[in-house]
Structure 1
Amino acid sequence: MSMAGGHHYRIAVEWTGNQGTGTSGYRDYARDHVIRIAGKPDIPGSSDPAFLGDPARHNPEEMLVASLSACHMLWYLHLCAEAGIAIIGYRDQADGMMAMESDGAGQFSGVVLRPQVTLAADANVEAARALHHEAHAKCFIARSVNFPVTVEPVFQSC
C-alpha cells in the first residue's frame, strides 16, 4: 500500500501450533503458523527443522533469503528493460549463511545471490553485468539488512 513518501505493508501472522497445552514445554507445541496478507493466498510457516519446525512449511530464514533474491531480480529486470537489454530468462540459486551463538541466538552472516541470466542474442553482456551492481544498490531489502549480500551473476545468450 502506498503512503505519501513511502509504502506500508500490513501482514498478519497467526500461530496455529497449540497442540492442547500451549507452550507448557519446549517439545509440547508446534511451530506452525500462517502468514496472511489480505487478498493473497496464505503462506504456511514454521521454524527451521533444526528448531523443531515442520520441513514442509516455509521458515523465516528461507523467506529472508527469498526476499533478497526476488528484490534483486525485480530491480534487475526493471533496469534492463529501461536500458533496452532483453532478458529472456532469469534463475537464482541463493544461499544464506547464519551464525549461531552459544546462547541460542543467531544472525545472518551473509547471503550470496547467483543469478543465471539468459540474454537475447544481441544483448551487451558487460552492460547487463553492470546493471547487477545498480540493482543491488537499489534493492530495498538488501539496503535494509546489516550483513553482506554478494551477487555473482552468470550470463548466457540464446
Structure 2
Amino acid sequence: MKKTPIKIKKHNYKIKVEWTGNQGNGTQNYKSYTRNHNIIAENKYETIKGSADPSFLGDKTKYNPEDLFLSSISACHMLWYLHLCSVNNIIVTDYLDNANAVMEETKDGKGKFTEVTLHPNVKITDPSRINEANKLHQKANRMCFIANSCNFPIKHTPITTKE
C-alpha cells in the first residue's frame, strides 16, 4: 500500500524591530545607549514599545523579549484551550492566566528559559465538566505552536470553577 505524503501547511511571519535608543553616540560604550525599541507588524493597530529587562539596563516600563516570550506561550495555550472547549461544548465565560517563568543566566552572559508554569483560572457554566475542562489543558499544550517550539516542558496548574 502506497502512503500518501503528509501535506505541510507553512505560515510565514514578518516583524520589524526598530532600535530607538541611540542617544547621539550610538553604541560607543555599554551605557551610552538605551535598549528601547519598537516592534512593528504590518496591518497591526499598535506598535509595541520594547526594551531590555531592567537587569540588562532596560526600561522597566516597557515590554522586554522575556515578557513577550512568556506572553506568547500563555496566549497560544489560551487560544488552543478556548478552541478545544468550544469544540467539546464546554462553555468558558472567563479566562485569566498568571504565568511565570524562570530564566537562568550563566557567568559568560548566556541564558535560557528552564521553566514556564501557566496558572489559568477558568470559569465555565457547567460544574459537572470541571475535570474534563482541566484535562483539556494537556491537549492544548500538545497543540500549542509556541510550546512545541520550546526545549523545556510547560507546566500547568489550572483552577476551573463554575461561572
**Which bracket does the TM-score occupy, shorter chain normalised?**
over 0.9
Opposite residue 32 of structure 1, the aligned amino acid is: N
**Alignment partner of 1:81 is 2:89:** no
Spell out, residue by residue over 1:71-96, the C-alpha distance to the aligned partner (whole angstroms, 9 max, x if none).
00000000000000000100000001
1:85 and 1:123 in contact (8 A); partners too: no
Q: Quick one: distance in 2 between partners of 1:42 and 1:75?
A: 25
Change (3 A) 1:9 1:143: same
**Alignment partner of 1:135 is 2:140:** yes
What displacement does 1:46 show? 0.3
Q: Quick one: distance in 2 between partners of 1:156 and 1:5?
A: 37
Unmatched runs of 5 consecutive residues or more in structure 1: none
Deviates more, 1:117-126 or 1:42-51: 117-126
TM-score (norm 2): 0.92
What displacement does 1:121 show? 3.4
What displacement does 1:147 show? 1.6
Correspondence for 2:36: 32
TM-score (norm 1): 0.95
Q: Residues 12-91 of structure 1: matches in 2 within 5 Å? A: 12-40=16-44, 41-91=46-96
Q: Quick one: distance in 2 between partners of 1:57 and 1:130?
A: 35
Instruction: Provide the identity percentage.
Output: 45
Q: Quick one: distance in 2 between partners of 1:65 and 1:96?
A: 7
Q: Secondary structure at the match of 1:69?
A: helix
Q: Quick one: distance in 1 between partners of 2:153 and 2:135?
A: 19
Unmatched runs of 5 consecutive residues or more in structure 2: 1-7
Q: Quick one: distance in 2 between partners of 1:109 and 1:122?
A: 35
Question: What is the aligned residue count?
Answer: 155
What displacement does 1:129 show? 1.2
- Name segments (4+ residues, structure 1) moved above 4 Å: none
Opposite residue 9 of structure 2, the aligned amino acid is: G
Correspondence for 2:3: none
Q: Secondary structure at the match of 2:77?
A: helix
What displacement does 1:123 show? 5.0
Correspondence for 1:9: 13
